[in-house]
Chain A
Amino acid sequence: MRKNRTLLICTAALLLLTCALTILHISASSEPVAGEILVRVGSRQYAIPYDSLAAEEVHGTIINGKGEESVINAPGIEIIALLSTINVDPSSIESVSVISADEYHAEIADHELMESEKAYLILWDNSCRLVVFGDSNSKRAVRDVVRIDTVSKAS
């Protein structure tokens, strides 16, 4: 790397910009608390501890993008049941976005929410994981779920 003043200034400027954006991003996003899921419904948000979830044993098989099957055998709760615990009417929800700590997210549509034994949050290795049975790949297998955002149907 030869000395190049222009590049040095540009790189330093980009680094400063990235640092500033990082600080803004981290301060703007809600700090995920270990052992809790944040559920946002409109302007309200609810912090639900894992311990308070009425988890039941979830059994099933999921398939990844390579066609390999994985057996699921862990405690969990259906997304629709989770929303019911905070008195949210599932029929008023258009879609649900399940978000992990690194902002990776997966969408679940209203008809999938209503479908029985379809979308679960399972407790796995001290964190929550989204499992959607029937998917042909693992794009919606969101690990380390920290937040669920709901989108309400237009009235």
Chain B
Amino acid sequence: MRLPPRHRPTLRQLIFWAICCDLGLVCKRLIAPAANLLTDAMRIPGGIATSFSLLFIVIGCEVMPFHYCGTLMGITQGLIMMVLGHTGSMGPLAIIGYSFPGFIVDLLMRLPLVGKLKRAERMAIMNASAAACAAITANIIVFRLTGLTLILYSSTALTAGTICGWASSGIADRIDHYLNKNR
């Protein structure tokens, strides 16, 4: 399925965009305790809940008509968390940790090869790449893991991102119908 052409967003789309930004942050906080049980058992730092929050950025980029949607969503999320004081170990660098995955999603959206893929495959690739990017960014800023631990940490992020991206394609199909039905 080819991507729809980009155009000026409607109010309905912008409201949905804002909801996606908030849902991503809320879901991350909700899922984190359960996700950390898994990462504690694997003896790696937590953070796979980020893959779930990136799902909303990927949905937003898939159904929203404007460029740099992912980067803007990431920056918005980063600013919200900084204002709320929930930056965690990253501190002021959290803005980079939130915006860089969104930027990666935007980059992938621009690739012709990615645009030609089926929706499920495209969203799985975008979510997996964004999750891996978030994991590597967190490693550079905070954890500084090396060797096998880093490979395992990245692999976990890729796997969680792929599963979340695949799941998000079903959500995007339903939302797209209601959000863009007049286009």
Q: Report A's interface with B, CB cutoff 8 A.
A: 1-2, 4, 6-7, 10-11, 14-15, 17-18, 21-22, 24-26, 28-29, 65-66, 101-105, 137, 139
Of A11, A24, A25, A65, which contacts B162 at CB under 8 A? A11
Query: How near does chain A come to B114, taking the closest CB pair, in angstroms?
Result: 14
- Docked pose: A137 CA to B155 CA in angstroms: 30
Of A6, A17, A102, which contacts B44 at CB under 8 A? A102
Are the C-beta atoms of B42 and A26 separated by less than 8 Å?
Answer: yes
Are the C-beta atoms of B87 and A28 separated by less than 8 Å?
Answer: no
Nearest neighbor of B167 in chain A, beta-carbon distance:
A1
Is B148 part of the contact surface with A, judged by Cβ < 8 Å?
Answer: yes
- Complex interface: chain A residues within 8 A of B155 (CB): 14, 17-18, 21
Query: How near does chain B come to A58, taking the closest CB pair, in angstroms?
Result: 23
Are the C-beta atoms of A103 and B166 separated by less than 8 Å?
Answer: no
- Docked pose: A139 CA to B144 CA in angstroms: 12
Counting chain A CB atoms within 10 Å of each CB, which of B124, B142, B167 scores highest?
Answer: B124
Q: Top 8 closest A-B pairs, CB basis? A: A14-B159, A21-B152, A18-B155, A18-B159, A4-B120, A25-B152, A22-B42, A1-B170
- Docked pose: A26 CA to B170 CA in angstroms: 35
- Docked pose: A104 CA to B46 CA in angstroms: 10
Are the C-beta atoms of A102 and B151 separated by less than 8 Å?
Answer: no
Nearest neighbor of A141 in chain B, beta-carbon distance:
B89
Q: Report B's interface with A, CB cutoff 8 A.
A: 39-40, 42-46, 85, 87, 89, 91, 118, 120-121, 124, 142-145, 148-149, 151-152, 155-156, 158-159, 162-163, 166-167, 169-170
- Complex interface: chain A residues within 8 A of B124 (CB): 7, 10-11
- Docked pose: A25 CA to B148 CA in angstroms: 7
Sample 7 A-B pairs with CB under 8 A, ordered by A number: A1-B167, A15-B159, A22-B152, A65-B91, A103-B44, A103-B145, A105-B144
Of B46, B145, B151, B169, which contacts A1 at CB under 8 A? B169
User: With A7-B162, A18-B156, A28-B148 in contact, do A1 and B120 touch (Cβ < 8 Å)?
Assistant: yes
Query: How near does chain A come to B112, taking the closest CB pair, in angstroms?
Result: 19
- Docked pose: A102 CA to B131 CA in angstroms: 19
- Complex interface: chain A residues within 8 A of B158 (CB): 14
- Docked pose: A103 CA to B139 CA in angstroms: 11
Are the C-beta atoms of B170 and A103 separated by less than 8 Å?
Answer: no
- Complex interface: chain A residues within 8 A of B156 (CB): 18
User: With A4-B121, A7-B120 in contact, do A21 and B148 touch (Cβ < 8 Å)?
Assistant: yes
- Docked pose: A21 CA to B43 CA in angstroms: 12
- Complex interface: chain B residues within 8 A of A24 (CB): 148, 152
